[in-house]
Structure 1
Amino acid sequence: MKETIKIPFGVYYQEQFSKPMRRKQDVVSFILGVVNVLLVGESGSDSSGILYLKRNKMNRVFCFMEGKYFSTVFPFDVEFDENGNFYKVYDSISDIRINNRSVALLERMLEKIDFEESSIDEIIEDAYLDIAEDGYTDKDIDRCFGLILRLLSMELGYIRYDYDPERENGRLHPLYHVDINYSTKGTYKLGMNKKMETAEFIDMLDTKTDCRYVQ
């Protein structure tokens, strides 16, 4: 098994991955974007960032762009053929192979979900009405909706490193800092005295290496 998969991505995904993450839906949307990058393959000369998929005990995806790194759990399995070439992405719990068509369905469902305004029954009914005419079977819809609900109930372990000269404000908002959690009500910062390198960010989260200490 490849423990590290390295995939560059272009300007389109840079714009997608640069959007603020304030809700769990935003983090799940990023994960689905990572699946699309895996399915499309490596970017060419317009490479604007890079993904590292670490598949050992932690199973995380790392996204690196200029001045911004972040990471979250990657809940899917990735398989390669006997020649080491990418083969498929799948969810082992629901036994769903994740392809472009299922990603499109998952993204549409994710956009429809609003737990504050609708009940589960209303969300499911809206999903069927919106999607049923597009050639998806009842089984497709049921399995993908179940997968979306599971992703939204998971601990996704979101963490972000920022270099933020525009909003730097002494020790209140340090130039270099790590933001932990995504919501404005639950997030907190850890300031740093110097720039963090990509390898340091990975090592900080790697459960197979020595721990780092705050003090």
Structure 2
Amino acid sequence: MKKFEFVLSDLLYDKAMLPIRTKEDLLRLLAHTIKFLMLHSVADTTKIVDNKKLILYIDKMSRLFFCVKDKIFSFRFPFYVSVNMEDNSISISFKDYFEFDSIKSSLLLAILEQEDLFNGTLENVNEKILQEIIENEWENIDLDDMCELVKYLMLFEPGYLRYDHDVEHANGEMHPEHHLDIFFSSNVTMKLGLKNSVESEWLIDLVNILTECKYIV
């Protein structure tokens, strides 16, 4: 088991506070997180406040946990991670041949921030990625690798889960003050009420298949 904790930057905190309602929202946050992880070392956990924290947890599962004001949410981190023990820096790779660097992470973010990326066919994605590379003169980029990565992200299952402490919209049993939101799309989301608040460790344990199950009833 590997557990890495980071103090969220102001930028990533603001991004994490935005609602996630679509796969596009989630992937843009993931791209910003990749850039953040490449620039920041693992933090001293005694100095991290609970409402401005990022946890990367790797075991049988690989997940990100964002701990921000009044919510903790998590989704799958679909990459391989290695840590340089000398400076606590992190390397991130897709499969065994694509390692992120500053250029690749910036290109991925630029691609995912295209408003119309998810419109059209997968073949159109290739054209849009190529256009982005040409227009911005990105160098030393393997188009096939980048296209494979983007298509993989568009199709992967993120396993989104969020704990909310929602005082403003609390409405008895219809909308409990403490609850879990499962899935991000309004078409399939479901809400599970909680009697009390929960911490990040509780949520990690909930999705960890190597620990005992929690029971609803």
Corresponding residue of 2:25:
26
Q: Is the 8 A contact 1:112 1:127 kept in 2?
A: no
Corresponding residue of 2:53:
50
Percentage identity across aligned positions? 27
* CA 1:117–1:60: 2 relative to 1, 3 Å: closer
Q: Is the 8 A contact 1:69 1:160 kept in 2?
A: yes
Partners of 1:171 and 1:87 in 2: CA distance: 43
2:133 aligned to 131, 134, 152, which one? 131
Partners of 1:116 and 1:80 in 2: CA distance: 33
Q: Give the 5 Å matches for 1:71-86.
A: 71-83=74-86, 85-86=88-89
Q: Is the 8 A contact 1:180 1:187 kept in 2?
A: yes
**Is 1:68 aligned to 2:71, yes or no?**
yes
Corresponding residue of 2:188:
186
2:174 aligned to 172, 179, 195, which one? 172
Q: Is the 8 A contact 2:28 2:113 kept in 1?
A: no
Query: Which TM-score applies when normalising by structure 2?
Result: 0.88
**More divergent stretch after superposition (170-179 vs 130-139):** 130-139
Q: Give the 5 Å matches for 1:145-164.
A: 145-164=147-166
Unaligned runs of 5+ in 2: none
Q: 1:46, CA displacement in angstroms? A: 10
Q: Is the 8 A contact 1:10 1:46 kept in 2?
A: no
Number of residue pairs matched?
213
Q: 1:10, CA displacement in angstroms? A: 2.5
Q: 1:118, CA displacement in angstroms? A: 2.4
Corresponding residue of 1:143:
145
Corresponding residue of 1:4:
3
Deviations 1:141-171 (A, max 9, x none): 3311210110111111000000011111111
**More divergent stretch after superposition (138-147 vs 171-180):** 138-147
Letter in 1 for 2:25: D
Q: 1:60, CA displacement in angstroms? A: 0.9
**More divergent stretch after superposition (123-132 vs 150-159):** 123-132
Query: Which TM-score applies when normalising by structure 1?
Result: 0.88
Partners of 2:143 and 2:28 in 1: CA distance: 18
